[in-house]
């Protein structure tokens, strides 16, 4: 089974509008972390926002917020007031304990967001 | 400030050649990860170092892949006898701490490897 599922290969949003990028996850580990990264065409992965499994409140970072619904195992990213520079690939990722203790990230396949002027 | 750097940024190799990819993590970062990102996919974990110790190499796809971090800072990912399926972007990431409290991982720009 996929650990991270991003069902939207591509999304379009009008400039200045809000957009929600979907992410569902699968884990049996009670302690885990959820991340969103942005990857522009230049290729570098840029950290956006983090949500811990025990965090009571949804994470927010500027125009980014994470809609964390633990029972549904979803961690959707909401971008408010979209800007042209938001056009990029967006990856949802999960960190959980590994047997070797590396706590590596497992990524989804990504969503390509295009902001329309 | 200095982020994670990787070199070369682009590498073209003929099938069967050996390649070495370098990663300079952020100074003082204990944890170092290598990921492989195929075209149109998300990154996939290859291996993990805590200082100079390679604690997890479960993601290395074959014994042609080898990674080292001898002094706990710079790391090298080596691929022997490259194959076409090795073509991908190789990303390095570092983190200041270890374990579940490691926080975010800081990624380098990646090395795009093309095997002809």
Give the other-Cβ count within 10 Å of A60's Cβ: 12
- Cα–Cα distance measured from residue B112 to residue A11, given in angstroms and rounded to the nearest whole number: 26
Tell whether the model's pLDDT for residue A98 goes beyond 70.
Answer: no
Residues in A closer than 8 angstroms to B45, CB to CB, are 102, 104-106
User: Is A65 within 8 Å of A75 (Cβ atoms)?
Assistant: no
Which of B102, B104, B110 is facing A47, going by the closest CB pair?
A: B104
More confident residue, B50 or B1: B50
pLDDT at position A103 is 82
Average pLDDT of every residue of chain B: 93
pLDDT at position A67 is 96
pLDDT tens-digit map of A31-90 = 899 999 999 998 889 999 999 999 989 999 999 999 999 999 999 999 999 999 999 999
**B42/A4 Cβ within 8 A:** yes
- Cα–Cα distance measured from residue B72 to residue B81, given in angstroms and rounded to the nearest whole number: 26
Residues in A closer than 8 angstroms to B104, CB to CB, are 35, 47, 50
**B42/A102 Cβ within 8 A:** no
C-alpha atoms less than 13 angstroms from C-alpha of B87 in its C-beta half-sphere = 11
| Chain A interface, Cβ < 8 Å to B | 4, 31, 33, 35, 37, 42-47, 50, 91, 93, 95, 97-98, 100-110
Choose among A77, A90, A28: nearest CA to A53.
Answer: A28
Q: Kindly identify which residue of chain A lies nearest to residue B57, measuring between CA atoms.
A: A100
Residues in A closer than 8 angstroms to B59, CB to CB, are 104
Which of B45, B109, B110 is facing A104, going by the closest CB pair?
A: B45
Identify the band that residue B27 occupies on the pLDDT scale cut at 50, 70 and 90: very high
């Amino acid at each position: 089974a996929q650990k991270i599922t991003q069902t939207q290969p591509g999304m379009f949003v009008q400039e200045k509008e809000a957009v929600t990028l979907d992410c569902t996850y699968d884990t049996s580990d009670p302690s885990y972390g959820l991340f969103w990264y942005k990857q522009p065409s230049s290729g570098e992965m840029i950290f956006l926002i983090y949500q811990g499994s025990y965090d009571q409140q949804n994470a927010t970072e500027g125009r980014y917020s994470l809609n964390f619904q633990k029972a549904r195992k979803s961690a959707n990213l909401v971008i408010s007031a979209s800007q042209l520079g938001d056009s990029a690939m967006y990856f949802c990722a999960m960190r959980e304990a590994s047997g070797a203790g590396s706590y590596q990230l497992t990524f989804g396949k990504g969503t390509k967001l295009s902001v329309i002027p | 400030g200095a982020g994670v750097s990787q070199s070369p940024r682009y590498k073209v190799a003929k099938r069967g050649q050996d390649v070495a990819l370098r990663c300079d993590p952020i100074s003082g970062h204990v944890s170092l990860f290598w990921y492989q990102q195929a075209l149109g996919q998300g990154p996939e974990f290859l291996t993990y170092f805590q200082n100079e110790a390679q604690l997890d190499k479960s993601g290395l796809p074959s014994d042609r892949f080898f990674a080292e971090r001898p002094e706990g800072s710079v790391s090298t990912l080596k691929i022997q006898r490259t194959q076409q399926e090795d073509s991908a972007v190789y990303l390095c990431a570092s983190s200041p701490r270890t374990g579940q409290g490691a926080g975010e991982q800081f990624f380098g720009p990646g090395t795009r490897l093309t095997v002809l």
